Chain A
Amino acid sequence: MLAELVARRKVWEDQAHTVVVGTGAGGATAARVLAASGVDVLMLEEGPRLRTPERPRDVIGALSSTLRDAGTQTTTSAHPIPLLQGVAVGGSTAVNSGIIWRMPEDVREAWVREHGLATLVDPAEMDRIYARIEEDLEVEVTGDEVLGGNATLMRYGAEKLGLPGRAMSRNARRCKGRSECLQGCPGERRQSMDVSYVPAAMADGARLRTHARVDRVWIEGGRAVGVKGFVVDPHSRRPVGRFRVRAKQVIVSAGVVHTPLILMRSGLRGLVGRRFQAHPGAAVVARFPEPVRMSFGATQGYEVPMRDRGFKLESLSLPPEMLAARLPGVGRAWQERVAHLDCYAQWCAQVRMEAKGRVVAGPLWPLVFYEPTERDLDRLQEALVLIARMMFAAGAVEVYLGVDGLPEVLRSERELDELASFRWKRGAIHLIASHLFGTAVAGADPARSVVGPDLQSHRIDGLYVMDASVFPTNMGVNPQHSIMAVVVRAAEQLARRSAGRRAA
């Protein structure tokens, strides 16, 4: 805060037809579509542009260089939930596992029926757009040759229990199974935005400025005419100066926590910051008698969608720093488990929670108020117990639920049955959330939404929101593909309108 007050020196000014705030799935896609249509686009990114082979391989380096607050951004509650969001060129796509899911039909229908978004998610148009993105991003089902031990064991466990599992579709056709998605694919095979749509937009003439943290939308006469913000130091991320950009159109794609904060600082109120939703989850680790070798294989390769139960199970390989931290014990007991680091598997659950929260500015830092409901916690417990059963079915000799207050080590399904028979305490489960939604929701009714079906603000002309903030509901599946498809749809309409105005 103080640093922002001190940073009065104006460092640079710029102008463009359209300024895009953020370079994640939403911002990069908007820039790509508009630049390809001949629009003069300037992309602004708060974080650095890191070539993936040069990104730090160790977890401390990876977290501090690419995640907001080095992964320590959390909800505001007695039991904080870490909210993982990328802050680098590529946004969260630079750190995710590249899992690709089209928007489920029941979600699309609810958006049409309850939020008046029929034009935004027109099925024929969405199919065309999905196919184009899947081609651009080299989407393919993960092959057996790169599934790796972690995912292969999960497949075996799912088959033993008759669960509907499948190899994941990912945007990494040429994946070599290095299990380093978090740190950035060394061969740039995973087509995150920093290696795909951002360079493509730049090839079409879009410009990129990094270390530029947008503070607010510049509004004159009820119309967006640009943005103002802070130049941040590449190392400390503290403001060292100011910038402003004049533009005819502003697209805010700063993510579900920071998009509403920018809108609030720009004077927008009402539903801004409300209807925050997420897919929080937790993970279970198991020890197997033979090497699993998490270090080889797709970081995430296999999934068990349990849509009717409200959760999805996924294999998730970890770097050694994070895997070791999940193993029980202290001192010699811990070191002995750590010495067999290649014998562990980890599978996680993502829960489609019904809870709704709120993002507010806060006096010192952003506050995210969000608390799962009792039903959400029941679903989570059911999911974690099911993972543990799959692990035993696959031959695990020890299962570590990681739930505070319960036995650290389970050696049989009978022990699990006893624990499953009562409700676990909310604070006992270490939740984490990377799929966030809402806070500037889209809808036809201005009384129930922040932006319209074209993703333009109901109140401010020329101001658009294009990221998962506009999602009126969560989805139960990984959101990157849906974010991109919705943004392509809106950006194509915007490009046509911009071309019409230029011609006139």
Chain B
Amino acid sequence: MRLTKIERRWLRALYEGFAPPAERGYTADGEGLAPKPGEVDHAAAFERLNGHASPLAQLGLRAAVWLLGSAPLWTRRRLAGIDGLPVEERVALLEDLARHRSALVRELTWLMKVQASMSLFGNAEIRRRSRYDEGREEGMPVRLKALRRGKLVEVA
């Protein structure tokens, strides 16, 4: 399932809306989680998963790229694809789509967010920066604390 040139542009713009790259002024709590420019090959990740998806899912995902990619036209009446919007506007547009009155639009937006997440954390460097895997190698049980009456107490 090879994406066309315009689909690739839209896909990158969509994923950058969900997770804006570091150069655009967004960083996540100093953890360095925002992707660096060109760090993630979103199209390759999309094609890799969807090459194995059911025919119906392939259709649905392609429809999602077109629906969300062309959203500036049918939500903002602007003659542009999502790649024609600055990143701040893309974020606002995706927030609107996630709360859209149509359940189909909301579902497809959520589906693309799942894809964006898979693409992002499928990248080994971003996964390392997320520190998700820290502590696993040691095999040490964690000490759990929970908020009880406004105070942190150890629960296990």
Name the A residues within 8 Å of B155 (CB-CB).
152-153, 156, 394-395
Cβ contact within 8 Å between B144 and A74 = no
Q: Mark B20-49, 1 if CB is under 8 A from A, else 0.
A: 100000111101011000000000010011
Cβ contact within 8 Å between A334 and B145 = no
Cβ contact within 8 Å between A339 and B121 = no
Contact of B53 among A70, A332, A394 (CB under 8 A): A70
Cβ contact within 8 Å between A59 and B54 = no
Q: Mark B127-156, 1 if CB is under 8 A from A, else 0.
A: 100111111100111101111100010011
Name the A residues within 8 Å of B142 (CB-CB).
148-149, 152, 291-293, 296
Q: How far apart are A488's CB and chain B's nearest CB, in angstroms?
A: 33
Contacts A293-B135, A331-B91 known; A325 to B28 CB distance under 8 Å? no
Looking at B5-13, B75-83, B111-119, the stretch in contact with chain A turns out to be B111-119
Contact of B144 among A152, A339, A365 (CB under 8 A): A152
Cβ contact within 8 Å between B29 and A336 = yes
A324 to B34, CA, bound (A): 13
Cβ contact within 8 Å between B136 and A340 = no
**A266 on the interface (CB 8 Å rule)?**
no
**B98 on the interface (CB 8 Å rule)?**
yes
A177 to B140, CA, bound (A): 9
Contact of A60 among B48, B56, B107, B130 (CB under 8 A): B48
Cβ contact within 8 Å between B148 and A395 = yes
Contact of B130 among A64, A144, A338, A397 (CB under 8 A): A338
A289 to B155, CA, bound (A): 12
Cβ contact within 8 Å between A334 and B18 = yes
**A445 on the interface (CB 8 Å rule)?**
no
How many chain A residues touch the partner (CB < 8 A)? 61
Contacts A324-B121, A335-B19 known; A394 to B28 CB distance under 8 Å? no
Name the A residues within 8 Å of B122 (CB-CB).
58-61, 321
Q: Mark A261-289, 1 if CB is under 8 A from B, else 0.
A: 00000000000000000000000000011
Contacts A72-B57, A335-B34 known; A152 to B135 CB distance under 8 Å? no
A153 to B133, CA, bound (A): 19
Contact of A74 among B17, B57, B117 (CB under 8 A): B57
How many chain B residues touch the partner (CB < 8 A)? 58
Cβ contact within 8 Å between B120 and A324 = yes
**A54 on the interface (CB 8 Å rule)?**
no
Name the B residues within 8 Å of A237 (CB-CB).
52
Cβ contact within 8 Å between B118 and A325 = yes
A-B pairs with beta carbons under 8 A, tally:
181
Contacts A290-B145, A292-B144, A341-B132 known; A335 to B53 CB distance under 8 Å? no
A147 to B122, CA, bound (A): 26
**A164 on the interface (CB 8 Å rule)?**
no
Cβ contact within 8 Å between A320 and B145 = no
Name the B residues within 8 Å of A177 (CB-CB).
136, 139
**B94 on the interface (CB 8 Å rule)?**
yes
A336 to B33, CA, bound (A): 9
Name the B residues within 8 Å of A106 (CB-CB).
none
A430 to B113, CA, bound (A): 14
Q: How far apart are B3's CB and chain A's nearest CB, in angstroms?
A: 15
Contacts A70-B49, A324-B121, A332-B28 known; A153 to B54 CB distance under 8 Å? no
A148 to B133, CA, bound (A): 13
A236 to B48, CA, bound (A): 11
A152 to B141, CA, bound (A): 10
Q: How far apart are A48's CB and chain B's nearest CB, in angstroms?
A: 12
Contacts A63-B49, A330-B95, A404-B103 known; A320 to B130 CB distance under 8 Å? yes
Chain B interface residues (CB < 8 Å from chain A): 17-20, 26-29, 31, 33-34, 45, 48-57, 90-91, 94-95, 98, 103, 106-107, 110, 113-114, 117-118, 120-122, 127, 130-136, 139-142, 144-148, 152, 155-156
Q: 24 A-B Cβ contacts within 8 A?
A: A59-B122, A60-B48, A64-B48, A64-B49, A70-B52, A72-B57, A144-B141, A153-B155, A153-B156, A156-B144, A156-B155, A288-B144, A290-B146, A292-B144, A293-B142, A295-B133, A320-B121, A322-B117, A325-B118, A331-B19, A331-B94, A332-B20, A334-B18, A404-B103
Q: Given A70-B50, A396-B146, 7 other A-B contacts at CB below 8 A?
A: A58-B122, A61-B122, A64-B48, A72-B56, A335-B26, A340-B29, A397-B147
Chain A interface residues (CB < 8 Å from chain B): 58-61, 63-64, 69-70, 72-74, 144-145, 147-149, 152-153, 155-156, 176-179, 236-237, 288-296, 319-322, 324-325, 330-332, 334-336, 338-342, 364-365, 394-397, 404, 427, 430
